[in-house]
Amino acid sequence: MDKEKAAGRAGDVMSERKEQIIQEAIKIVAEEGYGNLSMRAVARASGLKLGALQYHFPRWQDLLRGIADTISHQYFESIAGLGDREGYLKLADIVRIILDDEPGDVLNSEKLFPQLWAMALVEPVMNDLLGEIYGYYLDIVEKALIQEDIPTPRVHARVLTALLESSSLFLSWDSRVKNIKKSERELLIAYLDTITSS
């Protein structure tokens, strides 16, 4: 095997290893809380010694950047292609995506995103990540409202985003209402109908 092929193969293995490490870190944040995320915890979950982990992620910020980049990529990848030919989504489709947690199927977002919000208070890279995700989210909602000829679409987009996110968080947090998730979803869709029919 020539040196270029060997180097390329080693790079692929390293990339796969880095991705596996990042997935273990995301799992720790989602399942144990961001307070339990540390280089040692990630090394242990990845089956590595701390020095081996630091070979891939020399600094804490390198690991956080890898986590943020992976979440961003997975989030946008899961939404890409869901709209019509121009990329627009209808309001009812947006509600279904958020409340049925289609992007969250990949990211376990009902557990992960509250932890990311907490991390964003102390880690600038997570604050940037959430700004990127929710900026994109607001733009999608605003475009759907513009298509429906709703006045002041940005204001409505902010209100709807807050309503959808808090509803999604509340439904996952409170076990007493988990069994009414479907009726809650239908209620939100009915609410959207009142906005778009006026």
pLDDT digits (tens, 9 = 90+) for 131-142: 998 888 888 888
Please give the tally of structural domains in the chain.
Answer: 2
CATH of the domain at 24: 1.10.10
> Does residue 120 share a domain with residue 43?
no
- According to DSSP, residue 1 is labeled -
The whole-number pLDDT of residue 163 equals: 80
> Does residue 187 share a domain with residue 116?
yes
> Does residue 74 share a domain with residue 49?
no
> Does residue 82 share a domain with residue 54?
no
- Is pTM, for the whole model, over 0.85? no
Give the pLDDT confidence of 37-74 residue by residue, as tens digits.
999 999 999 999 999 999 999 999 999 999 999 998 88
Contacts for 123 with CB less than 8 Å, ≥ 6 apart? 64
pLDDT average, residue stretch 170-192: 64
Arithmetic mean of pLDDT over the chain: 79
The DSSP string of 134-197 is HHHHHHHHHHHHHHTT-SSHHHHHHHHHHHHHHHHHHHHH-TTTGGGHHHHHHHHHHHHHHHHT
> Does residue 74 share a domain with residue 12?
no
CA distances from 34 to 26, 37, 41, 60, 117 (A): 9, 5, 11, 13, 10
Q: Which domain holds residue 54?
A: 1-58
Is the Cβ–Cβ distance between 37 and 29 less than 8 Å?
yes
Give the pLDDT confidence of 77-115 residue by residue, as tens digits.
777 666 655 566 777 777 777 666 544 455 667 788 889
Is the Cβ–Cβ distance between 109 and 101 less than 8 Å?
yes
